[in-house]
């Protein structure tokens, strides 16, 4: 099952005609996860033809306005459209307080059921995947980077399956093998090791606003896809350090060192709106498999 990602917003602190504020939508089976919710995100949902009522979880990286000011409008839209699930919201220290403050600032016409958790480490386990959060460094705002790791799965070798010459009814029993169980067909005992192989789960990492720090490599390590803050060009490295962001070159070096399969650059400053390709070109010189994110871009992993 592929993991589908839609970039709802790829800009930095000031939006542009081309780039909305930060927001990424991830779909995996029945899970629909929003990573950050900048101003205008609910409109981006409509343009991308994604139903916001499909949301199951929201991951907040930090509480700067360009990453969270879309939340009040999103909450109201969900309520008015009879959102009937519990919306799980995860974030750094202070998230519970800030969510409560949002509901003091605006008066929702209706409320939705939410559950807020301040997280670190391996905070979510499902039958299909796990999500981890580790601290990053971005001024005085507690900030998290996240990664989603799909669980490893046993798969059946098709060539070995053909040799068994099973009927459809007999093949129906094979699902137990992928659960690690031994089965018996035609008086023959078949063990998982006889016909299955281990398929490693995919890993996707999200590293937004931060300066270089030790947890970046921990989050990015061996990712099939790393989505990384690239607010600045290499020529503005001093400015990136001052404002505690990354350059596209730093993102590429992270990807290379961490043995990432694919890198996507996001959180692009308005100053590069007419020449953002320079960020991609700089990164590609170091890490070839690099893409510059664009609003409404969709990919699968």
pLDDT digits (tens, 9 = 90+) for 246-280: 999 999 999 999 999 999 999 999 999 999 999 99
Q: Which of 243, 251, 247 is nearest to 219 (CA)?
A: 251
Arithmetic mean of pLDDT over the chain: 92
Q: How far apart are CA 90 and CA 52, in angstroms?
A: 17
Residue range(s) of every CATH 3.60.15.10 domain in the chain:
4-152+200-300
pLDDT of residue 109: 75
pLDDT of residue 297: 98
The answer to whether the CB of 129 falls within 8 A of the CB of 123 is no
- For the residues 283-296, what does the mean pLDDT come to? 98
Considering the candidates 30, 36, 66, 194, report the single residue annotated as catalytic: 66
pLDDT in tens, 154-180: 777 777 666 666 667 666 666 676 777
Q: How far apart are CA 218 and CA 232, in angstroms?
A: 22
pLDDT of residue 157: 74
Q: How far apart are CA 234 and CA 249, in angstroms?
A: 6
pLDDT in tens, 208-247: 999 999 999 999 999 999 999 999 999 999 999 999 999 9
- For the residues 182-197, what does the mean pLDDT come to? 74
| Structure tokens belonging to residue 54 | 């499909």
The CATH label, of 3.60.15.10, 2.60.40.1930, 3.40.50.620, 3.90.480.20, for the domain at 4-152+200-300 is 3.60.15.10
Give yes or no: 66 in active site: yes
What percentage of residues in the chain have a pLDDT greater than 70? 94
| pLDDT at residue 104 greater than cutoff 90 | no
pTM: 0.91
């Amino acid at each position: 099952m592929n993991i589908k990602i839609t970039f709802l917003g790829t800009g930095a602190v000031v939006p542009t005609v081309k780039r909305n504020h930060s927001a990424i939508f991830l779909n995996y089976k029945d899970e629909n996860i929003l990573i950050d919710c900048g101003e205008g995100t609910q409109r981006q949902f409509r343009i991308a033809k994604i139903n916001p009522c499909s949301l199951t979880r929201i991951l907040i990286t930090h509480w700067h306005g360009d990453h969270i000011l879309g939340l009040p409008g999103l909450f109201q839209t969900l309520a008015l459209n009879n959102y009937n699930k519990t919306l799980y919201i995860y974030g750094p220290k202070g998230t519970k307080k800030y969510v409560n403050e949002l509901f003091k600032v605006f008066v929702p016409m209706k409320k939705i059921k939410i559950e807020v958790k301040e997280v670190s480490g391996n905070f979510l386990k499902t039958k299909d995947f796990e999500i981890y959060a580790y601290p990053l460094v971005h001024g005085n705002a507690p900030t998290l980077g996240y990664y989603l790791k799909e669980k490893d799965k046993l798969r059946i070798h098709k060539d070995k399956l053909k040799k068994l010459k099973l009927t459809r009814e007999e093949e129906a029993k094979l699902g137990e093998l992928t659960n690690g169980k031994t089965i018996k067909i035609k008086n023959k005992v078949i063990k998982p090791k006889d016909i299955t192989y281990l398929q490693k789960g995919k890993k996707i990492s999200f590293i937004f606003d931060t300066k270089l720090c030790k947890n970046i490599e921990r989050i990015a390590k061996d990712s099939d896809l790393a989505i990384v803050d690239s607010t600045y060009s290499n020529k503005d490295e001093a400015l990136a350090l001052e404002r505690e962001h990354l350059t596209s070159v730093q993102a590429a070096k992270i990807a290379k060192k961490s043995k990432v399969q694919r890198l996507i650059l996001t959180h692009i400053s308005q100053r590069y709106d007419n020449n953002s390709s320079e960020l991609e070109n700089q990164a590609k010189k170091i890490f070839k498999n690099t893409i510059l994110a664009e609003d409404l871009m969709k990919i699968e992993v």
